[in-house]
Structure 1
Amino acid sequence: MRIGIPDDGGPLVPATPTTTARLVGLGYDVSVATGAGAGAGFPDTAYEAAGAVVVPDGEAWSADVVAITRAPDVLAASGPAGLRPGARGPDGLRIGAVLIAQIAPAARPDLVRALANRGVTAFALDAVPRISRAQSLDVLSALSNVAGYRAVVEAAAEFGGMFSGQVTAAGTTPPANVFVIGAGVAGLAAIGAAGSLGAQVRAFDVRPEVAEQIESMGATVVRADDAAQQVSADGYASALTTDQEAAALRAYAVETAAADIVVTTALVRGTAPTTITAEMVANMRPGSVIVDLAAPGGGNCELTVPGERVVSANGVVVLGYTDLPDRMPRHTSELLGTAVANLVQLGTPNRDGRLALDPDDVVVRGMTVAARGEVLWPPPPVAVSAPASPVRPASAVEPAETAPGSRQARPTGAGSRQAHPATRAVLLGLGAVLAALAVAASPADQVAHLTVLALAVVVGFYVISHVSHALHTPLMSQTNAISGIILVGGMLQIGSSDPVVTTLAVLASAVASINIFGGFLVTHRMLGMFRRGAPTDGSGR
């Protein structure tokens, strides 16, 4: 089969020379339109070196599989006769072709219908199910990451000062104050970018479970308990109640008045709620900057004009750009190309150059918006693969109350579980008695050692149980040092004349050695995940 990469007129391209080489390695013939990668800095010669053939744009559109960044604008009147030329792409898409693109199927039903009428099998890169197995195809998260980073770059270009504080012979300058609303993918990227430039970053999100993520990025969490939602089941924020919205707006008013840079990212199912009112903008310092990442959904700021730069009456710059990922075409194209290559690889298990995506696969089904002349959007909801709760047979269910004079029903299910705490308490009490007898029977010089051991166990349990999961790896490194002390002590006692001491010393040395080498091995593997140049897309990059 032949994969075509047309020139859809924008700076992005859904295949880089690196991902093109992956597609060729899967057995496909790849045709790249002349100049398709020029906007992202990829010359035609780089594609030819990767094994592709550079062809005229119309020939790329006529391939068996066509990959573009965004689906072409198709008129609602387009029917079986074919796709009409629009703002993007010609009508060269052949009947029965496979289209891979960002389609926005929920907002463009006419386009989806036109694709179905044409007999095109269309896969929407922006409709990937939000499940772990589909993360390598999740274009929306990738583009949100780029947009969050670029938002800070745009703010830095507009802001009349430096993000980091400076100490000079002539005096000092304070760091910029950055306030980020929303700690999703874009928000966290903005937090990281602003923090790396030296700014003091504060962030707010109505979802309480993301507070730890904000702190892990080095930012300060802004708390407004009255605006907090319940822990979300799907990781997304929902619409606020009237009281929650009022509490959130009060927090926004305080934070924006003190901020130099404000980045807003709040979107609720594609709709942008108002988080920055005109009154808040009026209270901000002249020269402050607002970057509204929710501009495609209408904007979080009342002064936002999607796609435009606006300056308020008091000199606050409001950026409503909707093309932030396009402003970093090289890396955005690399992310798009990787997602396309991952999708094609998913449908080519035999590496034979034939695309055979399984329609029953939950990931494939979620992305398929049209196939076999039918509109397949929206997809069925993704079933959560969680083990079902065990259900007792009806015959085993006992009445809640027994008749007078009848024998008491034996405890089952929850009743048997209620006995566990009592059993645990008895065992703990028995263990304490045995420990006390052991101490009483020990020589006087051993009592102090046993006391230190008992206290170390108790203190160690409470310390480790209260350590954040993010600190488990450095904590493991500290336990390696402790194990090293045990190893040295055990080796010194191996030559003892007492066989019991020698046996214990050998066991202690063996266990400590396993912990040391195992701990360093795990730490090495985890640090390798963050090393620059580590493979991330399966292509060796």
Structure 2
Amino acid sequence: MKIAIAREVDAAEPRVAATPDTVKKFKALGIDVAIEPGAGIKSGLLDADYDAAGAVVSTEAVKDADIVIKVKRPEASEVTKYKKGALVIAIMDPYGNEAALKALADAGVAAFAMELMPRITRAQVMDVLSSQANLAGYRAVIESAEAFGRAFPMMMTAAGTVPAAKVFVMGVGVAGLQAIATARRLGAVVTATDVRPATKEQVESLGAKFLAVEDEEFKNAQTAGGYAKEMSKEYQAKQAALTAEHIKKQDIVITTALIPGRPAPKLVTAEMVKSMKPGSVLVDLAVERGG
């Protein structure tokens, strides 16, 4: 069996689908591994690192591969290089991308979407949604801190006191919880909102304040799988009014809310943005699904 590690064609994608340590595990199973030149460069992994781990570095790595692994779904120009019947494993982002999926089907490959992996105990080590969302929540705060013109913690100096930054996290899934924790560690005053009642305790356990319209609909706003349900127009209006008043006073807003299989809810309106203070920062982690 041959596994190929494909280079990402998206210039903005710095990740690689496998590390040299992963290659060693494949080799221990008796699997041949090939990798396209430069696939790991943006992740700080050299071709020599993969070569030392036992992978063959080749421009024809995907040719005749039984399994091709990538970070993102391959584009039509890539998939034509794969052999028919090959298994392609990646983050496929299938919702709303029917044309891209058809290209995979037309090429005769079998596509496995990593983000659709069942979220059960046995599959936790393959849960790309949680692992990547965790890192994204951390990075969102680091990016906002860099863009923000002042310090996050309250700074007491001989010349006076600078108040702590106010951070508002919208959506308290894995990314949101990590964003809250990171912002708190940096010394910010943090508030957060989500439609799922179970998140209130999680937010408060991290030292942040929870903000939501806590009516009957709110109490039943979570699916059996732990995901957020799409809320009624009436609830959305009430929540928007509460949010609009709160956002006026915030320095940083981080939106993370996603609904599986649906466009991301639009939580921040143009009017809310206009109401924010000059120098405020917004980071949208839901932009790929509509934002």
TM-score by length of structure 2 reads 0.91
Decide whether the 8 Å contact of 1:209 with 1:231 is kept in 2.
Answer: no
Shift of 1:126: 1.9
Distance (whole Å) between structure 2 residues aligned to residue 297 and residue 104 of structure 1: 9
Largest Rg, 1 or 2 = 1
Pairing 1:59-458 to 2, within 5 Å after superposition? 59-74=61-76, 85=77, 89=78, 91-226=80-215, 228-230=218-220, 232=222, 233-269=224-260, 270-299=262-291
CA shift in 2, pair 1:231/1:90, >3 Å: closer
Preserved CA contact (<8 Å) 2:80 2:107: no
Provide the rounded CA distance (Å) in 1 between the counterparts of 2:289 and 2:61. Answer: 36
Give yes or no for contact 2:180–2:208 (8 Å, CA) kept in 1: yes
What is the aligned partner in structure 1 of residue 6 from structure 2?
6
Task: Report the secondary structure of 1:180's partner residue.
Answer: strand
Q: What is the deviation of 1:296?
A: 1.4
In structure 2, C-alpha distance between the alignment counterparts of 1:153 and 1:95, rounded to whole Å: 43
1:219-245 deviations in Å (ceiling 9; x for gaps): 111242136241522211112112211
AA at the equivalent of 1:236: Y
1:49 aligns with 2:39: no
Alignment of 1:488-527 (within 5 A): none
Q: Contact 1:4–1:62 at 8 Å: present in 2 too?
A: no
Tell me how many residue pairs correspond in the alignment: 285
**Per the alignment, do residues 111 and 246 of structure 1 end up closer, same or farther by CA in structure 2, a change over 3 Å counting?**
closer
Cα distance in 2, alignment partners of residues 114 and 284 from structure 1: 44
Distance (Å, rounded) in 2 between the aligned partners of 1:204 and 1:162: 23
CA distance in 2, matches of 1:231, 1:224: 12
| Bigger share in helix | 1
The Cα offsets for residues 15-69 of structure 1, whole Å up to 9 and x where unpaired, read as 111211121122211111111101111011111222212122x233431211111
Structure 1 distance, partners of 2:286, 2:166, is 21
Q: After TM superposition, which residue ranges in structure 1, 4 or more long, deviate above 6 angstroms?
A: none
**1:13–1:36 contact (8 Å) kept in structure 2:** yes
Question: In the alignment, which of 38, 41, 56 is matched to residue 38 of structure 1?
Answer: 41
Rounded to whole Å, the distance in 2 between the matches of 1:103 and 1:267 is 16
- The one-letter amino acid of 2:58's match is V
Residues 257-303 of structure 1, C-alpha deviations (whole Å, 9 max, x = no match)? 1110011122233312222222222221111111122211222xxxx
1:15 is matched with: 18
Hey, what's the Cα distance between the residues in 2 that align with 1:199 and 1:127?
35
Q: Distance in 1 between matches of 2:249 and 2:94?
A: 40
Q: Separation in 2 of the partners of 1:62 and 1:5? A: 13
For 1:117 and 1:224, locate their aligned partners in 2 and report how far apart those are by CA, in whole Å: 48
| SS across alignment from 1:248 | helix
1-structure distance, mates of 2:22, 2:167: 37
Aligned partners of 1:180 and 1:263 also within 8 Å: yes
Deviation of 1:117 after TM superposition, in Å, equals: 3.9
SS in 1 for 2:89: strand
Gaps of 5+ in 1: 75-84, 300-541
Q: 1:119 to 1:298 in 2, by over 3 A?
A: closer
Secondary structure class of the residue paired with 1:208:
coil
Which whole-Å CA distance do the structure 1 matches of 2:269 and 2:275 have between them? 10
Q: Specify the code of the residue in structure 1 equivalent to 2:220.
A: Q
Cα separation, 2, equivalents of 1:134 and 1:284: 42
* 8 A contact 1:5–1:32 mirrored in 2: yes
User: Structure 1 residues 186, 114: closer, same or farther in 2, change over 3 A?
Assistant: same
* Structure 2: 5+ residue stretches without partners: none
TM-score, normalized by length of structure 1? 0.50
Q: Report the AA paired with residue 178 of structure 1.
A: V
RMSD of aligned C-alpha atoms? 1.8
Higher strand share: 2
Q: Check the 8 A contact 2:221/2:229 in 1, yes or no.
A: no
Identity %: 46
Aligned AA (2:37): T
Separation (CA, whole Å) in 2 of partners of 1:32 and 1:123:
19
